[in-house]
A = this chain, B = another copy of it.
Amino acid sequence: MNLFDAASFIQSHQTFYLAAHQSPDGDTLGSCLALRAALLEMGKAATVVCPDRVPAYLGFLIGADTVIGTDGIEPPQEAVIYVDCADHKRTGALEAILETAPYAFCIDHHGTNPRQSKNGDWVENVSATGELILRLLEELDAPVTHGIAVALYTAIATDTGNFSYSNTTADAFSAAAKLMAHDINLPELNRVLFREIPLSKAKLIAYVLGNMVLSCGGRLNTVAVSEKTLRDCGATKEECEGLIDYLRDVDSVEAACVVRESDGVARVSMRSKRVCDVAAVAKRFGGGGHLRAAGCTLELPLDEALRTMREALTEALQ
């Protein structure tokens, strides 16, 4: 299945559910809401459905307030398009209803997609599903309004980490160039997408930067975050995501490690830059991951877990 199949699926139907995946991010919601706005402009009916709520920081997306969840959802009348869903199960609690749709198509960029949709799956290995939606709108000669451009820019910028992850291609930049023709307020959008954080997260960052311990001549950077620290900061465990990057960002550091207390066990995140194989370290403790990003869980009190990981990483750095 390709772009033309997707365009013809849309041309053949009148009423759509556009399904975003659970724990929705900028790509699934930006893509769904851009496609919805374009379908409405084309005189069709479209509703974005998502098993989880729209995160507050994405509330500015066009039509974000129209997204519906499991509450009182009607069975699909006609067509469902799964958008940025690596498989149908990613629609979580909604799938039982969505699978009753007479027609179903999928538009996605995850190579692992099992291509299980009744009427086909357009899966391409691009930076973000938003790139595919832009191509689709061009193919359909659908209008790209300001709101649609902002939503697609959001999809691409968030899934590429503001054009910094390894999935960032020339095509991602070209798509952004096209979208910039629609008068996007980039400084404001960037602040909302990449910089704004709640006070609780700021406190957590202050904690890890203030309590991290450099060893191995500055090459290893470690910190422990207890449940008490989270409470003191008013932070959730979800807010611990990304903390490890602050440790790795110190210029002398080769390997970084955050050990977080969680219901009596210690959850370990590790990152490295150029040399250290943190996947091998994680494996020693029953975990896994990639060469430069890995994790494991230790059934130890927090301070013992920190000491254990520091020893293992010190060894790995030698």
- Residue positions of A touching B, CB distance < 8 A: 162-166, 168-171, 173-174, 176-178, 180-181, 186-187, 190-191, 194-199, 202-203, 205-207, 209-210, 212, 214, 218, 245-246, 249-252, 273
Contact = CB atoms under 8 A, between A and B. Distances in A.
Contact of A199 (B169, B195, B250): B250
A111 B174 CA distance: 26
Q: How many copies does the complex hold?
A: 2
Given A174-B177, A209-B209, A196 B251 contact: yes
B196 A218 contact: no
Given A170-B177, A170-B181, A197 B164 contact: no
B249 A202 contact: yes
Contact of A166 (B173, B187, B245): B187
A234 to B, nearest CB: 13
29 contacts: A162-B163, A163-B163, A163-B186, A163-B190, A164-B187, A165-B187, A168-B180, A169-B180, A170-B180, A171-B177, A173-B173, A173-B177, A191-B273, A195-B245, A196-B249, A196-B250, A197-B249, A198-B250, A199-B214, A199-B218, A199-B251, A199-B252, A203-B210, A205-B205, A205-B206, A206-B206, A206-B210, A209-B209, A210-B210
> Does more than half of chain A's interface fall in helix, strand or loop, or is it mixed?
helix
A164 B186 contact: yes
A177 B194 CA distance: 21
Contacts of A178: 170
A6 to B, nearest CB: 23
Contacts of A195: 245, 249
A177 B178 CA distance: 11
Contacts of A209: 202-203, 205-206, 209
A198 B251 contact: yes
B180 A164 contact: no
A314 to B, nearest CB: 18
A205 B202 CA distance: 10
